[in-house]
Amino acid sequence: MSVTRNEQDSMGTMRVPAAALYGAQTARAQENFPISGLLFPRPFLRALGMIKEHAAQVNRELGLLEQRQAMAIMDAAEEMVIGDLDDHFPLDIFQTGSGTSTNMNANEVIANRACQLLGEDLGNRSVHPNDHVNYGQSSNDVIPTTMHLAAAVEIKQSLLPALGELCKVLGEKARQFDDIVTIGRTHLQDATPIRLGQVFGGYFRQVSLVINELERTLDGLCELPLGGTAVGTGLNTHPEFAQRVIAGLAEVTGLPLREAKDHFAAQAGKEQVVAASGALKTSAVALFKIANDIRFLASGPRCGLGELQLPAVQPGSSIMPGKVNPVMAESLMQVCAQVIGNDATITLGGLAGNFELNVMMPVMTYNLLQSIELLTNAVEQFNVRCLHGLEANRQRCEALIEESLAMCTALAPVIGYDRAAAIAKQAHATGQTVREVALAEQVLPEEELGRLLDPRPMTEPGIPGKTR
């Protein structure tokens, strides 16, 4: 049998592993919630450690904690920040909706580690999880603050740089492909000519817009509920506590963090989290479209569209030798589907603001941080392993243009819609090109016909044969 020790809480005694830094409340939660095996991720634990560290510092400055206790708490919390204590956070995300179990997990771990640093036995409570580590705090303001802080840091430091790099490469491809004219498509059918650079310029703009949306929601996440304690009134916390702690967090993260204007709204409602998830969903929708387009444009290599050539990153089949699949696009698309599903859970979680507290914060937190991480990683890999090596098949693009029945669109302003449609129908029926039918029918002089059917001018505004 493993060696254990006794730990106390307000309900009595619990046995915990002798080497564990957590205490009785964490042990009770372990017994209550063996649900999924899904744990709070590293960004959340890092943010929670930061809050505990700065809380101890401010409470020391306010004369509310003794110097020796506060310094030990700060040292222990810093170990939590850098990840040294992660093994002592075993709790499932499907737990109490306030996240109280995990807040107490942190309080117990930091308190016991502080006792160790002071040369004292685990569980002796010379540094107390509630009276000292949690001083001036409640799970009801700490957990939503941690949720906001962790998500804001990850969006700012990870996702936005990844999307920015993607945007840069899409812009480079737009310039590289700008002289290549290909066929546009609407309803999956041939449409009028378009430059491949214009296509990638559209992708560039889509990503630029989702970056702007994420930056707007980032501002909302930077408003923190800390200081409201149990229901938003701030009972049992110093009036300067939240402002000082948040100022310290802002300094170390570089984020424009600020105290909530209304603590009752900040703790009862989770609209900023729902909005952030919505921006992640919007990002996923745009990225899915881009990845799917590139996947189709690269289909082939001989019997598909074949306008793009993907870099080969791995064999595509266990049975078909030489086959190469669009695996990076498929990976990104699957991530986008997961992010959209996560948003549904977060939206439902946002509905669970019952009176003065939302009670689905752990699962909202997990899904939000997972969406950020998945998008960051998938975008980085798609960028490096797909977009960087992406090439255009110029010959294929030019061949498709000439074969397209939509070329007759440029004839319509000169010869009329009905006559142009008849030419398109005849070309389709005979397998000829629009140019070949129009020449045979002598609808226009050859020189004028050549000018009207030049695809490059069709990619700019104007009326063929009338204005340019």
| Residues carrying an active site annotation | 187, 317
Element of type H or E holding 61: helix 42-61
- State the amino acid at position 144 in one-letter form: P
* Three-class secondary structure of residue 194 per DSSP: strand
**Distance, C-alpha 367 to centroid of its chain:** 10
Computed over its alpha carbons, how large is the radius of gyration of the chain? Answer: 30
Tell me the three-class secondary structure of 327-368, residue by residue: HHHHHHHHHHHHHHHHHHHHHHHHCCEECCEECCHHHHHHHH
Distance CA(310)–CA(256), nearest Å, equals: 41
104: which residues sit within 8 A by CB, 6+ positions away?
25, 26, 29, 129, 134, 139
Distance CA(155)–CA(150), nearest Å, equals: 9
Distance CA(385)–CA(312), nearest Å, equals: 9
**What is the DSSP code (8-state) at residue 1?**
-
- Rounded to 10 degrees, the C-alpha dihedral 105/110/115/116 comes to 100
